[in-house]
Amino acid sequence: MTAAGTERVIVIGVGTEYRCDDGVGPAVIERLRGTVPADVELLCSDGEPTRLMETWTDAAVAIVIDAVSGGDAAPGTLHRVVVPEAPAGQATPPVPGQPVLGQTVPTTAPASSHGLGLGAAIELSRALSRLPAQLILHGVQGEAFGYGQAFSPAVETAIDDLTARVRADVLSVSAS
């Protein structure tokens, strides 16, 4: 498979550059520029689920990078999850409390439209049969999510490895 023609390969950095470690997704996107095939789409997103869904609908491969909060992993720990697609016509209920890159699949609606995120985007896409053929999530465990532009030392150290792992996935799917 290549990224040419209708076989879209898209890499999405989710996060907010003014919330410290939350900005890691967009930062990896910047580092990828010029180092992956030109027809691979590189985008940043605030994680709003309908936009994420619209972005990856019809993509052959979507690779998403986000910061992870919660869970027991040490700051800087890298995660990689391949999201399985539900069999056609079957809705897979979210498993309450099951983390998707550290974000708990919602069991009740959040209090605000600002509270929806990557987990909701995946489940909404699954419900509407709009998951990309292959969806790979890359995360790094963060620890600083307050206002600011500086990464925590652990995330700062991990960015190069994270970028290399994402690039390896991009090159692998582009070449196959």
**Which residues of this protein are in contact with another protein, per CB under 8 A?**
15-19, 22, 45-51, 54, 69-70, 91, 94, 103-120, 123-124, 127-128, 145, 147-148
- Nearest distance from C-beta of residue 69 to another protein, angstroms: 6
Residue 42 CB, shortest distance to another protein, in Å, is 14
Smallest gap from residue 120 Cβ to another protein (A): 6
Q: Which is nearer to another protein, 45 or 163 (CB)?
A: 45
Query: Tokens representing 119?
Result: 């987990």
> Which lies closer to another protein via its Cβ, residue 148 or residue 153?
148
Could you tell me the two tokens for 154?
């652990």
Toward another protein, which CB reaches closer, 5 or 146? 146
Secondary structure of residue 74 in the 3-state scheme? coil
Q: Based on CB atoms, which residue is closest to another protein, 17 or 41?
A: 17
Output the CA torsion sign for 33, 81, 162, 158: positive
Give the whole-angstrom CA distance, residue 22 versus residue 131: 24
Backbone phi, psi, residue 161, to 5°: -65, -40
Nearer to another protein, 82 or 128 (CB): 128
CA distance 115 to 97: 16
Minimum distance between the CB of residue 145 and another protein, rounded to whole angstroms? Answer: 4
User: In the bound complex, what is the minimum distance in angstroms from residue 93's beta carbon to another protein?
Assistant: 8
Calculate the alpha carbon distances from 131 to 18, 23, 41, 54, 168 in Å.
29, 24, 17, 10, 22
